[in-house]
Structure 1
Amino acid sequence: MPIATLLPADLRLTIDPAVLGFADTAELRDETLPWIGQARAEAAARFGLGMDQPNYNLFVLGEVGSGRSSLLKQAMVEAAAQRRVPPDLCYLHNFDAPERPLALRLPAGEGRLLRQLLTQAVKTLQSDIPQRLEGQDYKAESERIEQAWKDDVARHYAELTAFAEARSFSLHREAGRMVFTLTGKRGQALTEDEVLALPKARRAAVEQAEQALRAEITRYIEKTQPLERAMNEALAALRRQVVKPLVERELQAIRAGLKKQIKDAAKLNAWLDALEQDVFDRLELFSGSEDDEERLDGLQAALARYRVNLVVDNGGLSGAPVIVEDNPLFRALFGSIEYQSENDVLVTDFTRIRAGSLLQAHGGFLMLHLADVLADTLVWEKLRRFLRSGRLQIEEPGVSFSPIAAVSLVPEAVDVEVKLVLIGSRAQYYELQEAAPEFARHFRAKVDFADSFVASADTRRASAIFVAHACRLSGLPHFSAAAVARLLEESHREAGDQTRESAIFARTEALVMESAAVCRARGGPCLVAAADVETALAAHAARHDYPEQRLREEIAEGDVLIDLHGSRAGQVNGLTQIDLGDYRFGLPVRLSAHAYAGEDGLLNIEREVELSGPIHDKGVFILQNYLAALFAHLAPLSMNASIVFEQQYHGVEGDSASCAELYALLSALSGLPLRQGIAVTGAVNQHGGVLPVGGINEKIEGWFRVCETAGLDGSQGVLIPARNRRHLMLQPCVVDAVARGLFHIHAAEHVTEGIGLLTGVAAGELNAAGHYPHGSVLGHAQDALLAFRRACQTLEHTKVPRRHFRAGDRSGRR
């Protein structure tokens, strides 16, 4: 089959602006961004967001810039609008166990209302309780109770005094103690010396009387202490009786003020009852001197227990929450407990509990990036535990490692219902499937974003809407239809396909902004023109192409050996692509082959020195097997051959040079020279078919620039796989050179088609006798292999040390 030479129309897709259906993007006013070319991902996203069952969290796969985050956020907002508003979350003081604050769920907005009602109730209690305790009725009754107690105590004290006087003792109180002294006949107190001077019998009687008095004092204390307790209890009961209507009224107002039905009503009522009891237990703190700092401190501490810590307030929402957590630190994601240092001790209370993104997203959606989550081991492990249990325990992990003592809190754990949307790459997704299958099973909704999609009139209009949206969002001038057409053509080039567009719209967005900047810089009309897009593309290349320029200069200066004219045996120019991440370009590389008599077969020099990757090695092995198949009638082959990429020191990978390697090897065998102006790219299979390769546009353009620098003479061109024809999106300068006959692009279906182009001699086919015709390329190679065999047989019979025979010397002479 003759080789095909491509026409200029084959080399790129050109989009007619007239078919787009608009004059400029100002006419396109769609409010939401379309899912351009992502029908499968859109369906999967809406399925996952709509599933209420557990474990249907979403894992979003795709390349950076494919719109995976922005489109998912848009879908989350739409889905959230259809959901009911989730409840608020409060933390309350636990009167039974202060170190374990209570969690309380309230309908949306009720948390704020409870906080307001409770604040007002506490203010009322703080002002009204002292007034009630200072009222005339309370004072009169409390005085009566105290007077009754005093009367009872006085009566018992009088009895004790009479008991003491009957035994010649005087009794009085001193600093809260009972002090008694022995008295004489005239009632005066006896000194210690006078007591010692008493007769022995009298001293014994005094000691006996003293013991009786002490016993009586003990009985007195036993009688009066219960009286004091009874008085205090009566006073407390009186205070409670006076204050109770007020406290009950305020707490009832709180219960009545919460209008919506509360799921945790029993818990709230129990807490309000505990608050009421706590107020009764601390009524003495509400009245007293304003100068009593200790009492005031105690009162403030008590009132602080009656507050509400509203950690999640959904009162302002109209649907479910949508949260995008771009900084998922432990505290930001799972919540925290704040501490304050007091006297070298870290202290805290329930009011210092803070909610994280997970609690805030309860009932809604939370978006995370997997790379951020994996960056922190604590976050990763905590998230795994949360997904397993569905319950969240707020904790402060660093407190246990603090150098000073800490008062710890253990807030009540809460159930959290949240739909997680995890953003990651395909590699991360499949690594996670293998490394943590128990984690991956919680993400049953897989949303796979495509890298490219089949172009159509609908996708082109959707892409134009994307451009219009970007212009409005960033305040940029709108694009003309011709400028949009040029953007679309560049999208096809990014996809490397005339039938497909790139789905990486971040690049399109960047080009939109750069083109708009060019338009503004030239002070042109309000619309961005196609020429502005061309200028932006050229400027972008100029900012990134220094490595390419420097390598081309090395070729032009002769430091890198590349022949552009004439013919050479065993030598061909291959094409490589270099990807720097932010810029890709192609460059030629010389491949050379050498063949001689021997039995070692084909030697891949890159492989021997470990400068080739496995794909390149695979390509060489396929080449070797195809070569053996070509000359199977001469098997076993008596040949030593070597192939090398010249002046390549950083490794070789890929199989796109296997066609060039085959041509160089056949040239070395046949002795027929190859045209140096034709660079070759393409992979070969075991049947000689030429397979498509990647980076075809960059490779062709790289060779074109090298030839253009040296001067195009009409003999240069490239040989590419025919199956790469639809991948061609070459720059206009290359298309123009082809149109003027200065550069040529040839496409081959089979490797034998390229042999004739490069050598000017037909490849040749096996005849009926099973041999290639003399004068053909394969015929010359066949003669060389036969000569190698005769040389090897002669050396084997004569036992003469083997000498190397060059390919092309078909006489067999030494």
Structure 2
Amino acid sequence: MRKVQELKASQVYRFCDLGQLNFNTTEDLLPCTDFIGQKRAVESIEFGIGMDYAEYNIFLVGPTGVGKSTTIETMLSRVAKTRPTPKDWCYVYNFQDPNEPKAVELPTGRGKLFKKDMEDFLQILKTDIPRAFESKEFEEQKQGVMNEFQRQKNVLFEELQKKAAENNIQIQFSPTGIITIPLLEGKPVSQEQYNALDDTARNEIINRKEKTDNEVAEALKAARKIENEAAERLKELERRVALFAVRGLIEALSEKYQLFPQIIDYFDHVQKHILENIDNFLPDKNMQAGGMPFAYRMPQQQPQTFTEYKVNVFIDNSLTEGAPVIFESHPTYPNLFGSIEKEARFGTLFTDFTMIRPGSLAKANGGYVVLEALDMFKFPFVWDSLKKAIENQELRIEDLYQQFGYSSTIGLRPEPIKLDLKVIIAGNSYLYQMLYAYDEDFRKLFKVKADFDSVVDRNDNTLSQYSCFIKSICDRDGLNPFDKSGLETVIEYSSRLSGDQSKLSVQLGSITKILKEADYWAKQDGGDGLTKRAHVEKAVEEKIYRSNMVEEKIQELIAKGVLLVDTEGMVTGQINGLAVYNMGDYAFGKPSRITCETFMGTEGVVNIERKSRMSGNIHDKGVLILSGYIGAKYAQNKPLSLSASIGFEQSYETIDGDSASAAELIVLLSSLSGVPVKQGLAITGSVNQKGQIQPIGGVNEKVEGFYDVCKAKGITGEQGAVIPYQNVKNLMLKKEVVEAVKHGKFHIYPVETIDQAIETMTGKQAGARGAGGKFKRGGINYLVDKKLREFAEGYRKFGKQQAPKKTNNSNEK
């Protein structure tokens, strides 16, 4: 078995040397123009952007702070400049169905020109139509029609009076109509005269009156016909006059927009509507001849706004260069899909097509829209509506309440516009996996996954890129220049964040934060205006100090003996395990005392935490592995008659993870063998059934946590930590621990097997199994095997003693 080699200071921290780069400060460098790593993500984005199909939208996958937004913004800004600028979109009045405004697509920049043309057209009409109706020619023609109407009407009533006179009937005109009065001897017949007449005379008067009444009815019918004909002639005259004023303007506009059939059709409807509503352009008919309104009248409606002839420039790309790129940071339904605004008038809500407002999808049409998944899922109806818009390649601007049946009022239903854009969503891997597993539409519409890594290889190329990135941040945020030592410290901190000496973290948000804080401490220090190693280290220390109050409280409890952790001496069946507490913004290591008691029985290894329901599934699995290891190694030639109780002392919350399984196995073997464990050492690592030590997470925090406890209780020079050998490359310990390792005050031992671990923890050889199948006498394995054999024999003897004696039935007879 290979002997465990204690780690040197150079192995527990990898310093950065930028001597190969020819610069003194970041002022000597050029800003970063490349992406740091992320080759897979960048190539995926390039592929997604290049695929001009509606279903090839992109989902950016990665943790917060790895540069997803920065990367996509940089790449889109480059690509967008090479793409054509999209067209304009306008909404106009629908004369056939006012509740469904028409969408009109125009070349880039023509939308606002179209609006200006219609505004000028309307202004001219407001002047020309009233002027045409005030002309002498129109008045003469109008008067001619009225005179002809009056002449025909006079002839008609003269003929009526003549016929009435022949029938000895007098006709009188009143405001309520025409009255017929019978005559007798040239005078109207009174009631007394009528009553005095005989029946023959009475019937003769009645017949004459009925005949005249019929003639009056026919005359009134003819008069109404003449009046209607006159009104039609006047209306036709007004149409001819108005058409004269409108036709030239419409023809000029039609010639200007002859390449757009939809607009030509719109102009035809405009002309027809104007001719049917000429009164809208004429002075108020409620005005008196003198031009003054009546003193008292009913309240009038809003002044005529001529909204029907206005143009709503929905999307204006006249100032856009290339394809639009929209980052929607607040993707509510109206912000994303657009809205139909309403205006309060006389206590009621009013809207029309000029109040249709675009959302981010409309603004990004022909380009790209970028959304944050978590932000989007906060708002109802957004995700389903977005999928429909992408799938149908059309954008509907709808009232949300009306769309989902929450409102029964009549509202606008604008014509959908064609949608041609690339949707890019940024989120974490958990969201991507959930959507991919449970949303069929997601798999169909987001075919490109751009996976962002949180780390990159630490090599000369990435060191150079990292240095240029720091230069870019200094220029962007106005930070002091960093000298070479400051840069080296930032890169070392980046390796610490990555959890690997051979990697660098690309969680650029965290790196930027430490750059700004180091700049603050550099400015507080005064000096030569450069940020150096000491300032970066100060920033890291202060960042920890702001968050590690809980850690200090726990260390204080350990130092006072409230939490029991020994850092000296040797104890059988007791060991220091290492765990990590994650507080969200800060994680730290804490040693925990693990104890074990063994005795004869058949329960096997009992996990106290599991029995008390304070153990997670992974920790339960780790404890069950111990039984497999013990059985395979020591119970091949005898039954396992063991009961062992293992527990974390003073634990008051759920324990999970398998990183303590090596410690639990060693403390179990210590209890069985009777060999004490060094309390100045702590161990972390998981173990498999073959006895191999497996790597764990949080190795830096665990080692530093035990060092801090040893420091609080007194450094002896014999203390240290045992870790899996695979975790050596993950060590980036803080400066104080590195110095302690360098001067032999603290020791770190990497182990590969449980035998190496127990030898390190006890100072006694494990003892391999010899050719005869027996363990080397005096070794820990020999002692464990001996104890288990004693348990087995004792249990067998105890079983015989407790077995009931057989009776001899023949003697009883």
Q: Deviation at 1:134? A: 1.0
Q: 1:488 aligns to what SS in structure 2?
A: helix
Given that 1:591 and 1:661 are in contact with CA atoms closer than 8 Å, whether structure 2 keeps it comes out as yes
Residue 756 (str. 1) matches residue 759 (str. 2):
yes
Alignment map for 1:249-648 (pairs within 5 Å) = 249-258=248-257, 265-289=260-284, 292=287, 300-301=303-304, 303-342=306-345, 345-398=348-401, 406-648=409-651
Which of residues 691, 713, 716 in structure 2 aligns to 1:713? Answer: 716
The separation in 2 between residues aligned to 1:169 and 1:563, in whole angstroms, is 136
The separation in 2 between residues aligned to 1:39 and 1:192, in whole angstroms, is 115
Given that 2:32 and 2:468 are in contact with CA atoms closer than 8 Å, whether structure 1 keeps it comes out as no
Q: Deviation at 1:279? A: 0.4
Change (3 A) 1:607 1:404: closer
Q: 1:178 aligns to what SS in structure 2?
A: strand
Q: Which amino acid aligns with 1:150?
A: Q
In structure 1, the partner of 2:5 is 4
Q: Deviation at 1:178? A: 2.6
Which range is displaced more, 534-543 or 331-340?
331-340
In structure 2, the partner of 1:24 is 25
Question: Could you give the per-residue CA deviations for residues 209-246 of structure 1, whole angstroms, max 9, x where no partner exists?
Answer: 22222222222233233322222222222222223233
Which range is displaced more, 233-242 or 776-785?
233-242
Question: Could you give the per-residue CA deviations for residues 95-137 of structure 1, whole angstroms, max 9, x where no partner exists?
Answer: 1111111111112211111111101100100011111111112
Question: Could you give the per-residue CA deviations for residues 320-358 of structure 1, whole angstroms, max 9, x where no partner exists?
Answer: 111111111111111122233456643322122222211
Q: 2:580 aligns to what SS in structure 1?
A: strand
Which range is displaced more, 551-560 or 343-352?
343-352
In structure 2, the partner of 1:157 is 157
Residue 69 (str. 1) matches residue 64 (str. 2):
no
Given that 1:591 and 1:646 are in contact with CA atoms closer than 8 Å, whether structure 2 keeps it comes out as yes
TM, length-normalised to structure 1? 0.94
Change (3 A) 1:404 1:53: closer
The separation in 2 between residues aligned to 1:195 and 1:327, in whole angstroms, is 92
In structure 1, the partner of 2:665 is 662
Q: Deviation at 1:31? A: 6.7
Q: Deviation at 1:419? A: 0.9
The separation in 2 between residues aligned to 1:256 and 1:735, in whole angstroms, is 84
Which range is displaced more, 175-184 or 148-157?
175-184
Change (3 A) 1:158 1:619: same
Q: Which amino acid aligns with 1:77?
A: S
Change (3 A) 1:212 1:526: farther
The separation in 1 between residues aligned to 2:28 and 2:177, in whole angstroms, is 99
Q: Deviation at 1:196? A: 4.3
In structure 2, the partner of 1:652 is 655
In structure 2, the partner of 1:808 is none
Question: Could you give the per-residue CA deviations for residues 566-603 of structure 1, whole angstroms, max 9, x where no partner exists?
Answer: 00001110111111110011010111111111122111
Q: Deviation at 1:550? A: 0.5
The separation in 1 between residues aligned to 2:510 and 2:7, in whole angstroms, is 30
Given that 2:638 and 2:792 are in contact with CA atoms closer than 8 Å, whether structure 1 keeps it comes out as no
The separation in 2 between residues aligned to 1:242 and 1:82, in whole angstroms, is 53
Q: Which amino acid aligns with 1:799?
A: Q
Alignment map for 1:725-740 (pairs within 5 Å) = 725-740=728-743
Q: 2:178 aligns to what SS in structure 1?
A: strand
In structure 2, the partner of 1:806 is none
Residue 47 (str. 1) matches residue 47 (str. 2):
yes
Question: Could you give the per-residue CA deviations for residues 742-781 of structure 1, whole angstroms, max 9, x where no partner exists?
Answer: 1111111111112111111110011111011111011111
Q: 1:368 aligns to what SS in structure 2?
A: strand
Residue 211 (str. 1) matches residue 206 (str. 2):
no
In structure 1, the partner of 2:35 is 35
Q: Deviation at 1:405? A: 7.7
Given that 1:90 and 1:310 are in contact with CA atoms closer than 8 Å, whether structure 2 keeps it comes out as yes
Alignment map for 1:668-683 (pairs within 5 Å) = 668-683=671-686
Q: 1:18 aligns to what SS in structure 2?
A: coil
The separation in 1 between residues aligned to 2:144 and 2:799, in whole angstroms, is 136
The separation in 1 between residues aligned to 2:760 and 2:310, in whole angstroms, is 89
In structure 2, the partner of 1:696 is 699
Where structure 1 has 5 or more consecutive residues not aligned to the other structure, the ranges are 802-814
TM, length-normalised to structure 2? 0.94
The separation in 2 between residues aligned to 1:164 and 1:25, in whole angstroms, is 116
The separation in 2 between residues aligned to 1:44 and 1:401, in whole angstroms, is 37
Change (3 A) 1:116 1:660: same
Which range is displaced more, 322-331 or 457-466?
457-466
Which range is displaced more, 240-249 or 39-48?
240-249
The separation in 2 between residues aligned to 1:196 and 1:75, in whole angstroms, is 109
Given that 2:578 and 2:589 are in contact with CA atoms closer than 8 Å, whether structure 1 keeps it comes out as yes
Q: Deviation at 1:271? A: 1.3
Q: Which amino acid aligns with 2:87?
A: P
In structure 2, the partner of 1:105 is 105
The separation in 1 between residues aligned to 2:390 and 2:437, in whole angstroms, is 18
Q: 2:493 aligns to what SS in structure 1?
A: helix
In structure 1, the partner of 2:236 is 237
In structure 1, the partner of 2:808 is none
Given that 2:373 and 2:427 are in contact with CA atoms closer than 8 Å, whether structure 1 keeps it comes out as yes
Aligned length: 795
The separation in 2 between residues aligned to 1:691 and 1:620, in whole angstroms, is 14
Which of residues 774, 799, 810 in structure 2 aligns to 1:796? Answer: 799
Given that 2:401 and 2:407 are in contact with CA atoms closer than 8 Å, whether structure 1 keeps it comes out as no
Where structure 2 has 5 or more consecutive residues not aligned to the other structure, the ranges are 288-292, 805-813
Which range is displaced more, 517-526 or 733-742?
517-526
The separation in 1 between residues aligned to 2:138 and 2:110, in whole angstroms, is 37
Change (3 A) 1:786 1:405: closer
Which range is displaced more, 627-636 or 453-462?
627-636
Alignment map for 1:37-186 (pairs within 5 Å) = 37-175=37-175, 177-186=177-186
The separation in 2 between residues aligned to 1:684 and 1:47, in whole angstroms, is 44
Question: Could you give the per-residue CA deviations for residues 391-422 of structure 1, whole angstroms, max 9, x where no partner exists?
Answer: 22221123589999844222112221121111
Q: 1:82 aligns to what SS in structure 2?
A: coil
In structure 1, the partner of 2:226 is 227
The separation in 2 between residues aligned to 1:297 and 1:563, in whole angstroms, is 93
The separation in 1 between residues aligned to 2:254 and 2:386, in whole angstroms, is 37
The separation in 2 between residues aligned to 1:556 and 1:299, in whole angstroms, is 83
The separation in 1 between residues aligned to 2:223 and 2:317, in whole angstroms, is 59
Which range is displaced more, 406-415 or 120-129?
406-415
In structure 2, the partner of 1:202 is 201
Given that 1:348 and 1:407 are in contact with CA atoms closer than 8 Å, whether structure 2 keeps it comes out as no
Given that 1:345 and 1:406 are in contact with CA atoms closer than 8 Å, whether structure 2 keeps it comes out as no
Q: Deviation at 1:680? A: 0.3
